């Protein structure tokens, strides 16, 4: 089974970042967190990678999905279950 890779760009002061991390953790879904607050021009980098400048920015298998709102919508539709780690 090929594992999905979820990458989340965050900052420490972002409440939506905390919500996104909590949502994934509550479902046992592993993710890679990349904190951006110490990265110069991080918002410019986010726009180049995802087309958006806000955090969190969540990328699933190299496809930007958006932020917490989009992640929560996927969860409500039952679309996150496919990403649950077999060990969860």
Q: Which domains does the chain have, with CATH numbers?
A: 6-83 (3.40.30.10)
How many other C-beta atoms are found inside a 10 Å radius of the C-beta of residue 87? 6
CA atoms within 13 A on the CB side of 14: 23
Residues 27 and 38: beta-carbon distance below 8 Å = no
pLDDT tens-digit map of 48-87: 999 999 999 999 989 999 999 999 999 999 888 777 766 5
Whether the per-residue pLDDT at 22 is higher than 60: the answer is yes
How many other C-beta atoms are found inside a 10 Å radius of the C-beta of residue 57? 26
């Amino acid at each position: 089974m090929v594992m999905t890779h979820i990458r989340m760009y965050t900052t420490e002061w972002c409440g939506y970042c905390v919500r996104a991390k909590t949502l994934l953790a509550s479902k046992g879904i592993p993710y890679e967190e990349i904190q951006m607050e110490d990265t110069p021009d991080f918002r410019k980098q986010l726009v180049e990678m995802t087309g958006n400048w806000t955090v969190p920015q969540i990328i699933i298998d190299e496809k930007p999905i958006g932020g917490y709102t989009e992640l929560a919508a996927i969860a409500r539709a039952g679309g996150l279950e496919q990403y649950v780690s077999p060990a969860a």
